[in-house]
Amino acid sequence: MYKSGDSVVGVKVAVLNIYAPCSNSDKVVLWRDLECLLGNDTAHNRCLIGDFNSVWVASERKGTTSGTVNKYEMARFNDFIERCALRDIPTVGRQFTWYRPNGTAKSRLDRALVSDEWLQ
């Protein structure tokens, strides 16, 4: 909350719309840049929403050509979420947010990550 004179005016929030690159090396740069932008100050309401092009757990990706999830990419994404003290908002309805046009693969790439303060 912030004040104007002696009265509380409102709550500061940060909402970031994310469209992460597909390249793993570019994602590493994005996660690092976002960590620097957000810092370790968890006292603000923040919401990051959009296409992260990464999965949180292996079960969020099905039918990939390699049959496996890039564990380094997944670990780096999870580290980013943890260091920024963010929480994943569960989906309602469809479990996956991206589908290959022929239906052979699907992933949960889109999500909303929020701070604990956002949930209060």
What is the average per-residue pLDDT within 73-83? 93
Q: pTM value? A: 0.83
pLDDT, residue 7, reads 64
What is the average per-residue pLDDT within 46-74? 86
Q: Does residue 58 carry a pLDDT above 60?
A: yes
pLDDT band at residue 68, thresholds of 50, 70 and 90? low
Q: How far is CA 115 from CA 41, 77, 78, 112, in A?
A: 10, 16, 15, 10
C-alpha 78/C-alpha 118 separation (Å) is 19
C-alpha 11/C-alpha 57 separation (Å) is 33
pLDDT, residue 120, reads 79
CATH number of 2-119: 3.60.10.10
pLDDT, residue 1, reads 55
The residue with tokens 């889109």 is 110
